[in-house]
Each structure stands twice: as structure tokens, then as C-alpha cells.
Amino acid sequence: MADHGLTSSFIKLDEEWGAHNYHPLPVVISEAEGAWVTDVDGNRYLDFLSGYSALNFGHRHPALVEAARDQLDRLTLTSRAFHNDQFGAFCRELAELTQTEMVLTMNTGAEAVESAIKVSRKWAYEVKGVAFDSAEIIVAAGNFHGRTTTIVSFSDDPAAHDNYGPFTPGFVTVPYGDLQAISDAITPNTAAILMEPIQGEAGVIVPPAGFFAGVRQLCDDNNVLLVADEIQSGLARTGKLFALDHDDVRADLYTLGKALGGGIIPVSAVVGRADVLGVLKPGQHGSTFGGYPVACAVGRAVVELLATGEFQTRSQELGRYLHGRLDELVGKGVASVRGRGLWAGVDIDPRARTGREVSMALRDRGVLCKETHERTLRFAPPLVITKEEIDQAVDALAESLNA
């Protein structure tokens, strides 16, 4: 059994001084490399959460650490009051990778979503001709787009939403995956449809086949923007650059974050059509750190890794293997498995153990993951994971379900 001698004293410190807005697993990580982390007592674990996909390239990928280090030695921050020699190149390289026309840099995912909401509204008033202050954005039930006051205004998760009002109006919620409901919700005031191509926090929910092609058609027919939140699903997680690529659908705007910062620093962006992002004029939106040189240097190294296609291929091939192995557990403590690529939502049989109990049993067997909701585990290993490590984790899961 693993030693946890130092662990409890670190946890005590966290609980005494840190705000209690998380309920972490009792493991205190002090070092990491690739798919592996080490705790303060020297125990090693496979990371099957990857910082909610922020660590798609694994911990401390050498090319990313080098890019950050080199930039730290040259220039860290200018603010956008001046140009810097990394910003334009990052925007161009990210636009080329994503086959989009323009890039708006921010820091966190929530800021990217906020920015996409602001841009969509401004576009609705200035280009589409929606009456002042009446733009509507259609969102999905079960969504997760971040934690700001406006974003939690349209969250239907009571924990994320309750007691943070008064809330921002202008959002219309429809069931996820229900094309008819979207069609019924569209009005002349609809500016955008904002959705995750696969709902991550909700438990890796994959919509019905053809759903997003239908959404695209509705957007085209009604002059409505399709805004795809690819903050968790994008950048190779599902086996393609964007999860939406599986549906052969293009969004008007994509929000990106998490893996865009290579697991090193927060980097986010809205990428998309120049005539939409082009509604922003100097002074109308911004961020002190958005597009700062360190972010751009790391982001450029991330783009370079993604441009090889290696991580997309790994996710596709190893994802098929992971899902094959997980499917073997259905009926043996697992109720069902969803997902795409190296991304899986595993529903624990309600007669078996809770997600938390299984997460703890996995920790004891050297695998870290986290339940989402009561009975769903989310598996999202770094895309550098090997087949043998997948076997190790799935074997540990099989044991944990029955422990």
C-alpha cells in the first residue's frame, strides 16, 4: 500500500488557507513528466485527467518547456499598448492551423467564451441589424462554459449557478442534441448558437449523428452564428483538431483554451471569421495579459506540435483501443461508456460504487481521475499515453469497480 505520510499535512494546509471551492482527491502532487505524476511521498500515478485536457501533450513536454524558457529569457510582458515580436506570428500560425481568418487572444477559457458572447452580440447589432439590447444566444442544457457571472447565468447546474444573481439576460436554453428545439427557439433576434461539440463536464456527452450539420444549416438559413466551444474538446483530444471536424462542420467562431497553453500557462483565443471578429475596434475589448509574449511563444510551440498531426493520430488510434477495453467492463460494474478519441465518460453501475469511491480506489492503484457528477468518471489521459499504460489504467479500473 502506498505511503501517504506527508500528504495529510499538505492537505491540512490547503484546507486551512485555501478557499474551499474544490474537493480534490487526497493526493498532493509535486512533480510530473509525460503521463506520470509523483506525490510528496514519492508515489507515482498515471494522470488520467490531464488537467481537464489542458495537458494534452503531457506534463512538461520538452518542446513546450523550452519555448517558455527561451521566451522568459528574452521578454515576458509588453501589454497590447505596444507590439511584440511573438503576437502576430502566433495569430497567423493559429489561424493557419485552424483554417480561420482572425484570432482574438485572451487568457482563460471563460474569457474566450465571454469574448465570443460579446462579439456575437456586437455582430448582431452592427451587422445583422438586431434591435438594441435584444440579442439572444441559444445554449444547451447541461452546458459548461466557465464560471463568470454572465456564463453561470445560463448554467443549469445549481452548484455553478445558484446565489450568483442577478443574472445576465439574453440566453435561451434548449435540450442538447435536439435540432427541433433549436429551430423553435430561433427568432429574428437570435445572434448565435453557443454549444460544446461534445459536452465535457456533463459527462462526455456525444450528440446524435448529424446534429451539428443540422445546426449549421439552421444557422445558415437564419443568419445566426455557430459558436463552438472547443476549449475541452478541441486541439486533438477527440482524434481530430476540432471535435466538430468529425461532423464535417465548420463553426463561425471557435473558443479555444486549456491545451492551447500546453499545460504551462493559461492561453485562450477566439478564432473564426474576420467579418465577425472584425466588429471589434480599438478600445472595445481587451486584456492586459491576452496575447502576451510568453503566451504567444508557448502557443506557437503548441501549434507546431498540432501541425504534425501526430497527436490527432495517437488520440484516434489509442482512443479506439481505450474504448474497446472500457466496453469490456460494461455489465461488470460499468453501466455505459461514451466518448471519442482518448476521451471517455464512464457511467458506474448505480448498484455498484459511487464515482468518488472508484476514484479513491483508482488512486490507491496508481491512477488519477475525477468523477463528474455522482456516477460518471471522466477519462482523458495525456495524448502521449501508451497502450501499455492504458491497459494498466483499465485493469486498475476493473479492480476498483469490484474492490
229 is catalytic: yes
CB of 163 to ligand PLP, least distance (A): 20
Is 184 one of the annotated active-site residues of the chain? no
Nearer residue to ligand PLP within complex by CB, 100 or 108 = 108
The distance of closest approach from Cβ of residue 49 to ligand PLP in the complex, given in angstroms and rounded to an integer, is 12
Closest CB to ligand PLP among 294 and 361?
294
Q: How far is the CB of 242 from ligand PLP (least distance, A)?
A: 12
Taking a C-beta distance cutoff of 8 angstroms, is the pair 125, 185 a contact?
Answer: no
Name the DSSP class of 295.
Answer: H
Question: Min. distance of Cβ 19 from ligand PLP in angstroms?
Answer: 16
Whether 349 sits among the annotated catalytic residues: the reply is no
Look up cell 513546450; give the residue.
Answer: 64
Give the Å distances, CA to CA, from 165 to 9, 138, 151, 315.
37, 20, 11, 40
Q: Report yes or no: 298 and 67 within 8 Å, Cβ to Cβ.
A: yes
Given the residues 122, 258, 289, 379, the one annotated as active site: 258
Q: Report the C-alpha gap between 383 and 322 in whole angstroms.
A: 12
DSSP string, 148-159: SHHHHHT---HH
Q: Which residue is nearest to ligand PLP (CB)?
A: 109
Q: Which is nearer to ligand PLP, 123 or 144 (CB)?
A: 144
Integer angstrom CA distances of residue 119 from 51, 153, 188, 191, 257? 28, 18, 18, 10, 17
Nearer to ligand PLP, 229 or 252 (CB): 229
- Residue whose C-alpha cell reads 482574438 in the numeric block: 104
Judged by the rule CB under 6 A, the positions of this chain that interact with ligand PLP are 52, 108-110, 113, 144-146, 196, 200, 229, 231-232, 257-258
Kindly state the cell numbers that stand for 279: 466588429
Active site residues: 144, 229, 258
